[in-house]
Amino acid sequence: MDRPFDYLVPASMEHTAEPGRLVRVPFAGTDAEGYVLERLASTDHTGRMARLRRVVSGLPVLPGATLELCRQVAAEYGGTLSDVVRLAVPGRHAGAEEKVLRAAPVRHDPVALGPDLLGWEHHRAGPAFLAHVRDGSSPRAVATFAPGSDPFALLALAARAALASGRTALLVVPDHRDLDRLGAALERVVPEGHVRLEADLGPAARYRSFLQALTGRARVVAGTRAAVFAPLPNLGLVAVLEDGDDSHAEQRAPYPHVREVAVLRAEQAGAAALFAGWTRTAETQLLLESGWARPVLATRDTVRARAPRIAVAGTSGPDAQDPLAAAARLPSDGWRVLRDAVRRGPVLVQVPRTGYVPTLACQTCREPARCTSCHGPLAVPDAGERAACRWCGRPATDWTCGHCGDSRFRAVVTGARRTAEELGRAFPGVDVRTSGGSHVLDVVPGGPSLVIATPGAEPVAPGGYAAAMLLDGWALLARPDLRAAEEAYRRWTAAAALVQPASAGGAVVLVADPQAAPAQALVRWDPAGFAERELAQRRELDLPPAARFAGLIGPAADVEEFVAALPALPGVRVLGPLPVPDRPGQAPAVRSVVRVPRERSAELATAVKTVTAGRSVRKLPLVRVRVDPLQIG
């Protein structure tokens, strides 16, 4: 079904059924919606042709550039064109469309870049990047921001540079909190001509923003994941903030990643590209080493002047040689930093897990505690509550360990709420705030307080935090994930960047293995060196992005058939199958991973798409296919 179909255009629709319009057509005994891809004078179809029923949209909502981008994304990820178009074009809302069509044309005033660089001057090659964008060139950069920088102001100024060249700009951030902050920055730097595009807007507002971009009424689009497809004419800049954030990976087939779509779009439109954040991913490091992009990096003088003092707990002070002190969850040198800093202002405490006690184990043998009903993990939801299953919710009143028979629990990980309770007792009279899960704070007051936050939910403190404590670093490093070290470093750096510089007394204490590469990189504030090391290790082990992977999930027999049907690509290797952890209401499944050298990426995508299509035609059970899965294991 992943192909175009030919229809006759009635004379009454001669001037409205233009390419890109949404239409209704008869298909398989019913009416269906589709897009006009092109108009031809003749057809190769030899049978009887049906006619278009109706032209639905008043505008060509799938312009040629967007259609071509969707085709490239489908080919890159082994997906179907219709699935990608569904991601790129939001559902039509007639009322919103009518308002845009009736609105008067907008005339935008010329924009100048101005002398204020808002912090770009502290980054080597930063001013040059802006100057090239302003002059109409299309530079490509990977920027790692200096501590204390305002990343949203920096992105807004890059967008203004694109407007100064007479072009448009597209800015993509991980989530709605980042989008709020970017919107505030755009209000200051680009006071008009920008729109917000995200799924949370609702059908009408999202479609209206989409059409404003399509018709040129908006010159800057700021949005989350799906905004990377926004149909901006004369695109001059594509910018992505924190491309390592999981939110940038689409959760619907064919699961494209914002970073890869942005690369394709910049090449297609001849636009400038900017991948920015506190750190670099291995993927953006590969872009640098291939010559596709150039680095924009904070100067060492700026880092020394603006970074907080960073120490790994248990490696300094009077307890440096005490292994028990170093192994404590809150080592004594960390306590001293907390005690001194909380007198001067807010102190951030980062805890990897939300909840109270999110993970339990057997008191005797340390085996993970599992539900006797569904085999889900047991946890204590809140203070004073009984242990219960996180999957089915059943209380663990009759639980006994299947390995040793003990019925007692121990906490494996202490959550944010439990940490807040402990610190509240240790610092009586100090305000304790939590941020994470469904309750995320955007800003905290500047007075003395303790702010307990999960990674990614850290609120902003006016003037910066007096100090930060990064707890349970082992929990982030021990994740069974290819990107565990990279993610831990990104989370720690994002928190440390919110702290006052060392000259103002700012300090960060990391509770983690001091020999771990992310911990050493944090102490040195060396995102470039860490990314180079990470990519070198991936190359040595033939792991992404040095190689291309395709994950296959389904019943064991179907996955085996799928793998057997794949062509013998040079350098191909199949890993697995391994059982996928059981989930309530789901049939048992296995996971296999197909690996090929990076230069065979296109062949792998074509192969998995061909096998999937063949199984669909034969009405065989579908195997879930994900090219470049976030998790390999």
Write out the binding residues.
362, 365, 371, 374, 389, 392, 401, 404
The answer to whether the beta carbons of residues 400 and 406 sit under 8 Å apart is yes
The beta strands (E) that lie in 338-420 are given as 346-350, 359-362, 378-379, 388-389, 409-413
> Measuring CA to CA, which residue among 239, 259, 238 is closest to residue 248?
259
d(CA 386, CA 396): 7
> Measuring CA to CA, which residue among 574, 580, 576 is closest to residue 554?
580
d(CA 403, CA 362): 9
d(CA 452, CA 438): 14
- Give kind and range of the element (H or E) at residue 574: strand 573-579
Binding residues for Zn(2+): 362, 365, 371, 374, 389, 392, 401, 404
Can you read off the two tokens belonging to residue 612? Answer: 């999937």
DSSP assigned state of 192 = S
The answer to whether the beta carbons of residues 125 and 98 sit under 8 Å apart is no
The answer to whether the beta carbons of residues 285 and 532 sit under 8 Å apart is yes
Question: Cα-Cα-Cα-Cα dihedral of 278, 152, 170, 134, to 10°?
Answer: -100
For 146-158, the DSSP string reads PTT--HHHHHHHH
Measured at the CA of 319, the angle between CA 425 and CA 429, to 5 degrees, comes to 20
Amino acid at position 467, single letter = A
The answer to whether the beta carbons of residues 172 and 242 sit under 8 Å apart is no
Amino acid at position 187, single letter = E
Can you read off the two tokens belonging to residue 70? Answer: 């969707």
d(CA 543, CA 564): 23
Q: Which residues have CB under 8 Å from 481's CB, separation 6+?
A: 487, 631, 632, 633
d(CA 426, CA 428): 6
Q: Exposed (0-12), middle (13-18) or buried (19+): which is 488, by Cβ within 10 Å?
A: buried
d(CA 134, CA 528): 27
Question: Other C-beta atoms within 10 Å of 453: how many?
Answer: 25
Q: Is 384 left (phi over 0), alpha (psi -120 to 50) or beta?
A: left
- The C-alpha R_g of the chain, in whole angstroms, comes to 27
> Measuring CA to CA, which residue among 406, 379, 384 is closest to residue 395?
379
